[in-house]
């Protein structure tokens, strides 16, 4: 594996295997300048009512157009962290800024995709993709611009010609494409995706991973993708952030600078895969 293309750092700035905390935030460790962030979270802690903290001491920055995969074992708090970062749940303590302003509720400049497409069965593909664009807190857009956005988003996910179909007539993969188009139609600066492909078969999942990278590059969106699939993280991410422990913390991260499509880089992917798997197993064993 080449250090020039794949590099792992711990959130405290130490190289893997090294020790000691620098006291700097994650973003600072990565040479980030103020204003370089789409999203910046500092010292986040979250506890469900009456429960021990789900996670604590989480600092994380996402740069514009960066694809960050949040990886970790089941129950370590990935989905909860995504919901907090998206403004769906308030942190117990800590601060989040989104596009330079404090985040207190979900922003109309972000969008979410979940494991279930959750399409409205009485609306067509176009109706589902356009649904939500006219909500009260959305920036007002003219009817023609609305139609154009819907059309562009549908074309971007490869569903041109399916605008008038209903969800009942779609495969699982097509439904998830519609969910992705619905998110893209909002022209999000940051797309939050919580295991969006985990219910799909392997081939459809691989197609969707490629599509996601293509469309967010076209759309200039940053992405926070939650997954427990190491391969998915390696194929998609610019940066992989490993979460683990109880309460959950960020335990390590890797910068992945391989060009897309990544399947052409099997040897480097295989080596990184083994390194991440070892880190996950270490983390589980409490190393
Ligand atoms: N609404 C809730 N109320 C109380 N506890 C919750 C709630 N949602 C999740 N939890 C708990 O918080 C912890 C973290 O859950 P979360 O779903 O964030 O983890 P995860 O890493 O995304 O897991 P998975 O990969 O299995 O989806 C788990 O112990 C879970 O049981």
pLDDT tens digit sequence for 113-155 = 999 999 999 999 999 999 878 665 666 677 777 889 999 999 9
Q: Which helix (H) or strand (E) holds 227?
A: strand 222-227
Distance from residue 81's CA to the centre of ligand 1 (Å): 9
Q: Is the CB of 227 within 6 Å of ligand 1?
A: no
Q: Is the CB of 49 within 6 Å of ligand 1?
A: no
User: Rounded CA gap, 18 and 193, in Å?
Assistant: 32
Instruction: Give the strand pairing for 190-194 and 222-227.
Output: parallel
- Condensed to tens digits (0 to 9), the pLDDT of residues 149-187 reads 999 999 999 999 999 999 999 999 999 999 999 999 989
User: Rounded CA gap, 186 and 265, in Å?
Assistant: 33
Distance from residue 67's CA to the centre of ligand 1 (Å): 23
User: Rounded CA gap, 221 and 49, in Å?
Assistant: 34
Distance from residue 80's CA to the centre of ligand 1 (Å): 6
Sheet holding 55-62, edge to edge: 55-62, 39-46, 93-98, 101-102
Residue to substitute in 44, 54, 251 for testing ligand 1 pocket (most ligand atoms within 8 angstroms of CB):
54
Q: Please tell me the CATH code under which domain 35-109+224-287 is placed.
A: 3.40.50.300
Which pLDDT score, from 0 to 100, does residue 170 have? Answer: 95
Check pLDDT > 60 for residue 7: no
Distance from residue 251's CA to the centre of ligand 1 (Å): 18
- Condensed to tens digits (0 to 9), the pLDDT of residues 230-275 reads 999 999 999 999 999 999 999 999 999 988 888 778 888 888 989 9
Please report the atom of ligand 1 found closest to the CA of residue 48: 4
Model confidence band, residue 18 (pLDDT cutoffs 50, 70, 90): very low
Return the number of other C-beta atoms located less than 10 Å from residue 195's C-beta.
19
Which pLDDT score, from 0 to 100, does residue 284 have? Answer: 82
- The size of the chain, in residues, is 287
- Condensed to tens digits (0 to 9), the pLDDT of residues 68-105 reads 999 998 889 999 999 999 999 999 999 999 999 999 99
Residue to substitute in 51, 55, 75, 224 for testing ligand 1 pocket (most ligand atoms within 8 angstroms of CB):
75
Please report the atom of ligand 1 found closest to the CA of residue 80: 18
Please report the atom of ligand 1 found closest to the CA of residue 72: 21
Q: Is the CB of 246 within 6 Å of ligand 1?
A: no
ipTM attached to this prediction: 0.97
Q: Nearest-5° angle of CA 164, CA 137, CA 106?
A: 95
Residue with the nearest Cα to atom 24 of ligand 1? 74
Distance from residue 54's CA to the centre of ligand 1 (Å): 8
Check pLDDT > 60 for residue 34: no
Q: Is the CB of 51 within 6 Å of ligand 1?
A: yes
Taking the model in full, what pTM does it have?
0.85
């Amino acid at each position: 594996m080449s250090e020039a293309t794949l590099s792992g750092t711990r959130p405290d700035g130490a190289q893997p295997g090294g020790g000691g905390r620098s006291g700097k935030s994650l973003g600072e460790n990565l040479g980030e300048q103020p204003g370089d962030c789409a999203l910046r979270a500092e010292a986040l802690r979250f506890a469900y009512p009456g429960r021990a903290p789900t996670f604590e001491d989480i600092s994380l920055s996402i740069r514009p157009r960066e694809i960050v995969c949040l990886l970790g074992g089941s129950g370590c708090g990935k989905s909860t962290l995504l919901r907090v970062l998206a403004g769906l749940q308030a942190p117990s303590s800590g601060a989040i800024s989104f596009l330079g302003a404090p985040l207190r509720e979900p922003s109309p400049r972000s969008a979410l995709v979940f494991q279930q497409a959750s399409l409205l069965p009485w609306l067509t593909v176009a109706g589902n993709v356009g649904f939500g664009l006219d909500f009260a807190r959305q920036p007002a857009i003219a009817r023609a611009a609305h139609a154009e956005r819907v059309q562009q988003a549908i074309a971007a996910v490869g569903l041109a010609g399916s605008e008038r179909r209903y969800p009942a007539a779609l495969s699982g993969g097509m439904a998830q494409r519609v969910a992705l188009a619905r998110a893209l139609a909002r022209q999000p600066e940051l797309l939050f995706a919580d295991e969006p492909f985990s219910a799909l078969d392997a081939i459809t999942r691989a197609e969707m991973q490629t599509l996601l990278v293509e469309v967010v590059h076209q759309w200039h969106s940053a992405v926070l993708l939650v997954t427990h699939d190491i391969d998915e993280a390696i194929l998609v991410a610019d940066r992989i952030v490993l979460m683990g422990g109880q309460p959950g913390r960020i335990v390590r991260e890797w910068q992945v600078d391989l060009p897309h499509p990544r399947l052409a880089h099997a040897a480097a992917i295989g080596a990184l895969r083994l390194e991440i798997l070892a880190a996950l197993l270490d983390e589980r064993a409490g190393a």
